[in-house]
Amino acid sequence: MGETTVVFRRDETIVGNCDDLLCFETKLNRKKLPVNHKSQAWLMANIDPQKEFHGVRKRIAACLLVDTSGSMAGEKIKLTIQAAKNLVDALAPEDYVSMVRFDSVANLVFEGRHLRTPENQAKIKKEIEENTEIGGITNLKDGLDKAINELDVHKYTIVRGMPEPVKRIFLLTDGYPNKPSQSDYPDDEFFKTASILKREHNIQITTIGIGNEYGIRLLNGIARNSGGLSYHLTDPNMIPQIFAKEVGSMTGSLALQPTLHLKFEKSIEVGDVYQAQPRVWKLTDKLAPDVDGGLVINLSDITRKEMQSYLIDLRIPEQREKFNGRVGWVMLKLKDEGREYQSPVALEFSDETSEVVNPEVTKLVKIVLEKTKIQEEGETKPADWKEAAGSTIISPRDRDAIFGKSGGGTMKV
């Protein structure tokens, strides 16, 4: 076979990446690569919201999707009721809340309504308690369909000129659906539904696995594909922290449906893509072709005080000549806000034997790869479920070492 000549651009356009909303930056684990060798580099992209941004508090439209099947009996349903009532306590008077319960069939318990007054809040919590009888099998598909319909078609009133609310489904379950059967409706179908929700309806799903063991692969996958977060709930003391975190992120939303666009020289292959903050997820299957021939990935909503970080695996062909210049760029687009942030990616090819690496990016890559391996093993080995449940979070100590003490707002659960 003949040799392939690789041509890189030598121009480099630097675009300002900080404004009143956020800072966007990219870093490579290694900028200097050897000539006459194939190489790999990891690119880290950070989205760091400005801490002092004072936007309008966004209203919330929350739908409680509660599993009341037979497997939820005992302590599981007690934890679920307590969690649902705590969400009501965490919401503001102008927010909406609705509830769908599911076992063999799914039922809308009450449609979206304002909390408005303490009396109305108490009435809603009473309805939650009165509609959690246990029995039947787990028809998660029908429950999810009803919750989507409730948030998607309900016409929310305009409050003080505020825009349509931030929509979120809170799924509380032990995560073992058996209707439809796994063969008729595998987990991947739930993941497709979650992706469509985020992309076309801007509805995210927060999954809360109840009890000592739960369907971790299913709940992690639903959360990941919808841009939401996944929690494992065993201790009632965790409940206020979870919902304070969730409500705070929704009301502090700075940008809905952001997208990350990757454009590199045709010879450079994009391998796996991971989210590192606020949760560790493998996102490779969410990459899609972009209109300009590059790649695009839909991101989670950007919220105040919560950093997002992503890792992109770049496979670089053999370069036979010394070179120092731009090989591509990464762009963050906020469609609703009309903002774009562009960061060029530059590499140097040299015959020097010494290699300079970025220790922060290198350490983050090591941690994320280890955690995603634990996730994959925990999804297939029941004995590893507990370790897998904690593998979506980088420890505060490691996070501070990589990003600094101000980096990120990941909750310690």
pLDDT category at 53 given cuts 50, 70, 90 is low
What CATH number has the domain bearing residue 199?
A: 3.40.50.410
Query: Would the pLDDT of 273 be above 70?
Result: yes
Q: Mean of the pLDDT values across residues 251-263?
A: 90
User: How many other CB atoms are there within 10 angstroms of residue 292's CB atom?
Assistant: 10
Beta carbons of 182 and 218 less than 8 angstroms apart: no
Choose one of 185, 216, 251: the last residue of a domain. Answer: 251
Residue 368: predicted pLDDT:
95
Report the domain count for the chain.
2
Beta carbons of 325 and 12 less than 8 angstroms apart: yes
Domain shared by 79 and 205, yes or no: yes
193-227: per-residue pLDDT in tens? 888 888 788 899 999 998 877 788 889 889 988 98
Domain shared by 354 and 259, yes or no: yes
**Cα 404–Cα 409–Cα 413 angle in degrees, nearest 5:** 115
- What is the share, in percent, of the chain residues with pLDDT greater than 90? 46
Can you point out the beta strands (E) in 249-384?
Answer: 253-255, 259-264, 269-277, 281-282, 288-289, 295-298, 302-303, 308-316, 323-334, 339-350
Domain shared by 104 and 21, yes or no: no
Query: Would the pLDDT of 321 be above 70?
Result: yes
Residue 9: predicted pLDDT:
41
CA of residue 91 relative to chain centroid, distance: 22
Q: Give the lowest-confidence range in 88-92, 231-235, 376-380.
A: 376-380
Query: Would the pLDDT of 382 be above 60?
Result: no
- Which residue is it, tokens 């409050």? 159
- What is the share, in percent, of the chain residues with pLDDT greater than 70? 84
Domain shared by 178 and 273, yes or no: no
Domain shared by 213 and 301, yes or no: no
Choose one of 251, 266, 299: the last residue of a domain. Answer: 251
Residue 304: predicted pLDDT:
82
Residue 306: predicted pLDDT:
86
Q: Could you tell me where the DSSP H helices lie in 15-116?
A: 75-90
Query: Would the pLDDT of 181 be above 90?
Result: no
Q: Mean of the pLDDT values across residues 374-394?
A: 67
In the numeric block, which tokens belong to residue 353? 């034997």
**Strand 308-316 to 269-277 pairing:** antiparallel
Residue 410: predicted pLDDT:
28
The rounded radius of gyration (Å) of the Cα atoms in the chain is 23
Residues 6+ apart with CB under 8 A from 228: 168, 204, 205, 206, 207, 222, 300
pLDDT category at 402 given cuts 50, 70, 90 is confident
CA-closest candidate to residue 147, choices 127, 163, 170, 164: 170
What CATH number has the domain bearing residue 31?
A: 2.60.40.3670
pLDDT category at 251 given cuts 50, 70, 90 is confident
Residue ranges making up the domain that contains 153: 60-251
Domain shared by 74 and 7, yes or no: no
CA-closest candidate to residue 33, choices 6, 11, 1: 6
Domain shared by 70 and 203, yes or no: yes
Domain shared by 126 and 43, yes or no: no
Domain shared by 104 and 165, yes or no: yes
Query: Would the pLDDT of 407 be above 50?
Result: no
Domain shared by 240 and 270, yes or no: no
Q: Mean of the pLDDT values across residues 233-256?
A: 86
Round to whole Å and give the CA distance between 52 and 152: 32
Query: Would the pLDDT of 391 be above 50?
Result: yes
Residue 116: predicted pLDDT:
82
The mean predicted confidence, pLDDT, of the chain is 84
pLDDT category at 296 given cuts 50, 70, 90 is very high
Residue 13: predicted pLDDT:
37
Q: Mean of the pLDDT values across residues 47-63?
A: 80
Residue 387: predicted pLDDT:
62
Query: Would the pLDDT of 177 be above 50?
Result: yes
Which carries the bigger pLDDT value, residue 164 or residue 137?
137
Beta carbons of 91 and 115 less than 8 angstroms apart: yes
Beta carbons of 79 and 210 less than 8 angstroms apart: yes
Domain shared by 97 and 242, yes or no: yes
Q: Give the lowest-confidence range in 100-114, 142-156, 362-376.
A: 142-156
Choose one of 233, 251, 269: the last residue of a domain. Answer: 251
Domain shared by 244 and 272, yes or no: no
pLDDT category at 336 given cuts 50, 70, 90 is confident
DSSP summary character for residue 198:
I
Decide: residue 332, CB within 10 A, 0-12 exposed, 13-18 middle, 19+ buried. Answer: buried
Query: Would the pLDDT of 55 be above 80?
Result: no
CA-closest candidate to residue 394, choices 361, 365, 371: 371
Residues 6+ apart with CB under 8 A from 91: 60, 62, 97, 115, 247
**Strand 253-255 to 339-350 pairing:** unpaired
pLDDT category at 8 given cuts 50, 70, 90 is very low
